[in-house]
Chains A and B, each alone.
Chain A
Amino acid sequence: MQHGGVQNKTMKALSSLLLTLGFSFVAVYYFPHEMVSPGELHRSHSKKIDSCMKCHTVFQGIPDTQCTACHKEADLVNSKVNSKVSAERNSEKRSHLIHPKKWLQEKTCLNCHDEHMGANARLLESELDSEFFHKEVKGNCETCHSPPGNLIHKQVEHTCNTCHNSESWKKLIENAQSAFHKKEANCKSCHENPSDNLHEQMSGNCNTCHTFDDWKKLKQNAKANFHKKGSDCTSCHKKPADNIHRQSKGNCSTCHTFKNWKSSFVNHTKYFKLGKKHNKGCNKCHISGNYKSYTCYSCHEHSKRKIRKEHHEHKIRKYNNCVACHRSGSEKKAKAAWKRIKKAGNAGLYR
């Protein structure tokens, strides 16, 4: 009885199994795409492929002959990626462009291509990015790319990777520019002369001041070579707006030199220390605007009568060069200076 029950139940389970197999077989046979397709076909395929068997061969996978039935081998080999790569990026045509002949001989279509990944998915295996392709054709860019027809590339005789590398095409490799620029080359055949005031005055060749290695950093003495003594500085440079320059009436070269512009600043203490009482503005002493001459009589403290009286007390009659003794407002230091003059036997120069 029990044995019969077990047999009965086994038969029931077996019938369920066979029924399921039967129904699912019919469903798969009539609705293969809905029942077993692992994903949507790419939009370029779904328009033309209406049956699984157009690509799949039973228990044989997808032989290349199924692909080349539509994608002719000659088309795959002969096409090149032209300079309008970006324009073709989204077109269906582009996916068939890069097929060096050796790949077609050594690989199968499915080595690189994937399907059933969605209407807009890449048809390539995920790891097959541009880096992969460039490694495969290293040093032979023109397998796929046509050289640009612009002025700079027309002049270049080197291979592409003299200046470029596939990791970062737009960023040139180190020394690429100097490799391209040959000494004595005529810069203006490619570069326009800058239209600023400075460059419009230039009559020499660019490499008088610039180097190919580092265009922005000028050659040593380039500035000095450019500035000719006596030229009018203010035709290019603006006069600084600080206190000293505002009061100055002379030419820049009175104080500055072309070779070393900044160090020409006048160290006034060397001649006369400007203490609180004397720091009254340049024109107070340099009344002519020429900083090489001065006068001490321009304030009521230093009246001619008062100064004459004080100097006559020390029997000094030639006192026009005040700074011979007076290097600051200190009377004590002036007296010490006069003593030094006398000790040196030079007092006669001032009597």
Chain B
Amino acid sequence: MVTRKVMRIKLFIEQVLPFVLWFVLLVILSRVSDAILHALGYGDIGEYLGILGVGLILISFIYSIRKVKVFKAGSLRGFLTFHEWAAWLGAYFILIHGGIHLHAILPWAAILLMLISVVSGFTGHILHKRVKKSIEHEKSKLIKEGVSEQEAENQIFRAATMAKSMLKWRAVHRPLTALFAGLAIMHIISSLFYATWWGPK
């Protein structure tokens, strides 16, 4: 009983806590950066950071393309790491872009969905790590069968991504991301629709 409790605490500290901290850091860092930019008189840069953030998030989807084998170069693990970092950094820039302007609903709904997607991404990472750990013993079997260590690692990684719990998670993560994408696209279109920088200079 006590051992199970200790295990849970250990699990929380090792796997959940780092992602909670990353999320808190994301929010705090973006607020601090925004405040610094405004204090230095560079508040307008936020407008362009939105474009940069969206760009980074779009680029991060290269992992999804690699996963469905549209191309096969590079390790899937490396693409996943890139997906996570690019999405985190993209979210950071978009949070600065959003500032604390509570006037319009659409951009704020997009920001909210983006943050939910980030949390969902963190959850996926934890789940994947747990599934991979549970099938780690299969790696030695594969090596004994004559598969190279690198290949065995790749197979275990891929197997973990296809685990049942991961499929269930993905069934949530994808629609959330799609919702965020929809709101972001609508925000971009409406901004371009009304933007004053089309006009005479």
Contact = CB atoms under 8 A, between A and B. Distances in A.
A14 interface: yes
Of the listed residues B104, B192, B198, the one surrounded by the most CB atoms of chain A closer than 10 A to its CB is B104
B68 interface: yes
Nearest to B190: A36
Nearest to B109: A24
B199 interface: yes
Given A9-B174, A59-B193, A20 B106 contact: no
Interface centre among B171, B174, B196 (most CB of A within 10 A): B196
A60 interface: yes
B101 A24 contact: no
Given A52-B194, A63-B199, A108-B201, A36 B178 contact: no
B179 A36 contact: no
B101 A13 contact: no
Q: Is the contact region of chain B dominated by helix, strand, or loop, or is it mixed?
A: helix
A40 B192 CA distance: 19
Nearest to A7: B68
Interface residues of B, number: 33
Contacts of A32: 190
Contacts of A59: 192-193, 195, 198
B107 to A, nearest CB: 8
Contacts of A241: none
Contact of A28 (B106, B197, B198): B106
A37 B105 CA distance: 9
Contact of B191 (A17, A24, A36): A36
A9 B67 CA distance: 14
Given A25-B186, A36-B104, A37-B103, A108 B199 contact: yes
Contacts of B101: 38-39
A259 to B, nearest CB: 65
A6 to B, nearest CB: 6
Contacts of A60: 198-199
Nearest to B199: A61
A21 interface: yes
Contacts of B103: 37-40
B105 A16 contact: no
Contact of B105 (A12, A20, A35): A35
Contacts of A57: 199
Contact of B174 (A12, A35, A110): A12
A43 interface: no
B108 to A, nearest CB: 10
Contact of B183 (A24, A39, A61, A63): A24
B178 A20 contact: yes
Nearest to B173: A13
B66 interface: no
Contacts of A14: 178
B18 interface: no
B43 to A, nearest CB: 10
Given A25-B186, A36-B106, A38-B103, A16 B175 contact: yes
Given A16-B178, A36-B187, A63-B199, A6 B68 contact: yes
Nearest to B179: A20
Interface in B153-201: 170-171, 174-175, 177-179, 181-183, 185-187, 190-201
A69 to B, nearest CB: 15
A64 B200 contact: yes
Q: Which of A21, A39, A57, A63 has the most CB of B within 10 A?
A: A21
A56 interface: yes
Contacts of B192: 59
B148 to A, nearest CB: 24
Contacts of A25: 186
Contact of A58 (B68, B175, B193): B193
A32 B101 CA distance: 16
B54 to A, nearest CB: 15
A179 interface: no
**Residue of B109, B192, B193 with highest tally of chain A CB at under 10 A:** B193
Given A36-B187, A61-B198, 11 more contacts: A13-B175, A16-B174, A20-B181, A28-B106, A32-B190, A35-B105, A36-B190, A37-B104, A39-B103, A59-B195, A62-B199
